[in-house]
Chain A
Amino acid sequence: MIVYLTEQGSYISISGDRIIVKKGFNTIGIFLTKDTDQIIIMGNISISTQAIKHLLKNKIDVVFTTYSGQYLGRLVPELGKNIILRRLQIQKLSITKHKIKFARAIVSAKLENSISTLRKLNYYHKSAEVSHILNKLVTMRKEIPLINELQTLLGYEGSIANIYFSAFDYLVKGAIKFEKRTRRPPKNEFNALLSFGYTILLNLVRTAVNTVGLDPYYGSYHSEEYGRPSMVLDLMEEFRPVVIDYLVISMLNKNIISRSDFIIDEENEELPVSLSIYGRKKYIGLIEKRFNSYFWYEPKKKKMLLKDIVRYQTYLFAKAIIEDSEYIGYRF
């Protein structure tokens, strides 16, 4: 069970083998240690030393994020003992030949998933503009294997993303429109949803990367930068359209989230648009539901939970590094 704590000012303590969440004198949640896999602490929530020790002892993953979902850090019971894998990762990915191979696999998986996401959404809308955009994307598919430079690939991916995002306005029917991708900070409601969703997805992939024992900071496609988890961002790339983009568009079309779920504060330059407490809970619930739904997974030839697929892909990446084989991204 994954527990999201969003109630500001609450307090986590331990009694016996139970995790108890209190606010003031009221108990607002009791969880059994044996059932809990992960606790995500969002914002100002205190935790006692006793509780920290207990959670570390029982290997429960505790993630600290800001109120808006941005990753701050985590309690790590044991970080990647697999030093051999980490050495191989840094060795292999330092060689341009290997680096570009993995980067190509990631970009082409993202392109495939973008195409199938748009196709699935367009099935209901039948918009001519989207079909046109789809045709453009399909022709780009053939060019990826020919690219041999990372810089070109980066620019190529940028143009794919631009074309892909331009289809969003035709697919959304409600009052909230996509307009333009803005981040840091997101400037409208649609972008706020995308950014918040991506940070939640990042948390999940990060957990997977830590469990497998890869180094989160050294990736292939994203260049290294101080404090940027390139490996996590790499592995997350192929899941962005499948998990978040599809969900955001379909829930806006179903009117599950509307304008009233947002707080708009134009004077606040750091965060002009944010989700309200109620909207945030609704949105997290939907994302979790998507993580816990079954999808066809080709390598295993069976239906698997999406969150297990994310973990398995990470494992495949590690395997490709060790065995020097080809990495194949997840196809939606």
Chain B
Amino acid sequence: MKKYYVISYDISDDRIRYRVDKELKNYGIRVQKSVFECNITDAEYVKLKEKLDKLIDMNTDSIRYYFLCKHCRDNIQNVGNSFINTDKIFEII
């Protein structure tokens, strides 16, 4: 069962930010500079969180995880140069 998370971060050090970025890219899609949307299972969530916890500096940095239910997710609104992320069952290129 997959759950939908919005993950945002505030990291001052360039090197740490790069590493956190690299990890997050494998789990979800970047919707803003420091905001990711991930559709992941519980196991993947635990794994990701563990990895990120090791990377950041607990005194200066922060990462926030928001869980969106299905209903909340349908009500996402966006303005400007942005897109709404939908799950696809197939893709043709």
- Chain A contact residues, CB within 8 Å of chain B: 1-7, 10, 16-18, 21, 28-29, 31-35, 281, 284-285, 288, 292
Closest to A280 in B: B92
> What A residues does B88 contact at CB under 8 A?
1
> What A residues does B27 contact at CB under 8 A?
17, 32, 34
| B93:A17 contact, CB within 8 angstroms | no
User: Contact check: which of A1, A7, A16, A33 meets B89 at CB < 8 Å?
Assistant: A1
Given A16-B22, A32-B26: A288 in contact with B90 (beta carbons within 8 A): yes
Number of interface residues of B (CB under 8 A): 14
| B25:A16 contact, CB within 8 angstroms | yes
Residue-wise interface mask of B (61-93) relative to A, using a CB-CB cutoff of 8 A (1 in contact, 0 not)? 000000000000000000000000000111111
Within 8 A of A (CB), among B14-40: 22, 25-28, 39-40
Cβ of B44 within 8 Å of any chain A Cβ, yes or no, is yes
Q: What 7 pairs between A and B have smallest CB-CB spacing?
A: A17-B26, A288-B90, A2-B90, A4-B92, A3-B91, A16-B26, A29-B93
| A4:B93 contact, CB within 8 angstroms | yes
User: In the complex the two chains form, what is the Cα distance from A260 to B68 in whole Å?
Assistant: 45
| A21:B92 contact, CB within 8 angstroms | no
Give B25 Cβ to nearest chain A Cβ, in Å. 6
| B91:A4 contact, CB within 8 angstroms | yes
Given A1-B88, A34-B44: A10 in contact with B93 (beta carbons within 8 A): yes
> What B residues does A1 contact at CB under 8 A?
88-91
Other A-B pairs, 11, CB within 8 Å; known A2-B91, A4-B92, A29-B93: A3-B93, A4-B90, A10-B93, A16-B22, A16-B25, A16-B26, A34-B40, A34-B44, A35-B39, A285-B90, A285-B92
User: In the complex the two chains form, what is the Cα distance from A33 to B93 in whole Å?
Assistant: 17
Q: Name, among B26, B89, B93, the residue most crowded by chain A CB atoms within 10 Å (CB to CB).
A: B93
Given A17-B26, A18-B25: A292 in contact with B89 (beta carbons within 8 A): yes
| A5:B93 contact, CB within 8 angstroms | yes
| A31:B91 contact, CB within 8 angstroms | yes
A and B contact pairs by CB, cutoff 8 A, 6 listed: A2-B89, A4-B91, A18-B25, A28-B93, A288-B92, A292-B89
User: In the complex the two chains form, what is the Cα distance from A245 to B54 in whole Å?
Assistant: 55
| B92:A281 contact, CB within 8 angstroms | yes
> What A residues does B40 contact at CB under 8 A?
34
User: In the complex the two chains form, what is the Cα distance from A208 to B85 in whole Å?
Assistant: 30
Give A327 Cβ to nearest chain B Cβ, in Å. 29
User: In the complex the two chains form, what is the Cα distance from A173 to B9 in whole Å?
Assistant: 58
| B93:A6 contact, CB within 8 angstroms | yes
User: In the complex the two chains form, what is the Cα distance from A203 to B28 in whole Å?
Assistant: 29
> What B residues does A6 contact at CB under 8 A?
92-93
User: In the complex the two chains form, what is the Cα distance from A5 to B93 in whole Å?
Assistant: 5
User: Contact check: which of A7, A34, A292 meets B93 at CB < 8 Å?
Assistant: A7
| A29:B91 contact, CB within 8 angstroms | yes
User: In the complex the two chains form, what is the Cα distance from A29 to B88 in whole Å?
Assistant: 13
Give A133 Cβ to nearest chain B Cβ, in Å. 35
Give A277 Cβ to nearest chain B Cβ, in Å. 11
User: In the complex the two chains form, what is the Cα distance from A2 to B39 in whole Å?
Assistant: 17
User: In the complex the two chains form, what is the Cα distance from A10 to B92 in whole Å?
Assistant: 13
User: Contact check: which of B22, B26, B28, B92 meets A33 at CB < 8 Å?
Assistant: B26
> What B residues does A16 contact at CB under 8 A?
22, 25-26
> What A residues does B22 contact at CB under 8 A?
16
Give A190 Cβ to nearest chain B Cβ, in Å. 22
Closest to B40 in A: A34
